[in-house]
Amino acid sequence: NAEGRTLIARYEDFILMNIYFPNGKQREERLQFKMDFYKNFHEYALDLVKQGNHVVICGDYNTAHNEIDLTNPKSNSKISGFLPEERAWMDCFVESGFVDVFRYFYPQKEMYTWWSYMFKARENNVGWRIDYFFVNSQMMYKIENVAIHNEVLGSDHCPISLTLKK
C-alpha cells in the first residue's frame, strides 16, 4: 500500500509476509483505515491459501487478541489495540483457518512483545502481545517452535522468531 506496510517473499515451500498493520490510534478515521486494511489483507491471505500456498504472516498486528495478551485488559477495553471490533477481526481471522503459532504452542503463557516507553512499563513487564506469527492451518506440521525474545532490548517491541522443521 502507499504506506509501505507489507513485505512479501516467495519461497519454495511457503510465502512469507511481514506486515506492519495500522494503529487505530484514537481517531475514528484511522480506526476505519485499520479495519479496512485488515479486511483487504484477510481477503488476500485467503486467496493465497485457496491457490494452494502455505502462508506465514508475521509482524505487528497492533491488536492484542485476548485478555491473556495484555497486562490490563479491563482498563484498555476502550483503547485501540484492544477494541471489540479489532478483536472480532482477529477471531474471524482465526476462524478462517489461520493459527496463532505462539498461542498454539503456549496456550496459557503470558508473554508480551510491546511495552510503552512510559512508566517503566518494560521494567515492570506491563505489556501487550501485538506481534504475531500466523500460519494457515495446513502448514502447522512444518512448525517446530516459536519464541518471544523479551530479553532483547533496543525498541519498544522485542523480536519474535519461528523455527521450521527441516
Catalytic residue among 13, 36, 47, 60: 60
Scan for cell 475514528, then name that residue: 28
Q: Please tell me the distance from the alpha carbon of residue 29 to that of residue 62, in angstroms, as a whole number.
A: 16
Checking 8-11 for CB contacts under 8 A at 24+ apart, the result is none
Query: How large is the angle between the packed helices 28-50 and 84-95, nearest 10 degrees?
Result: 0
User: Cell numbers at residue 60, please?
Assistant: 505487528
Is 60 a residue of the active site? Answer: yes
Phi first, then psi, for residue 103 (nearest 5°) are -65, -30
User: Cell numbers at residue 130, please?
Assistant: 501485538
Active centre residues (catalytic)? 60
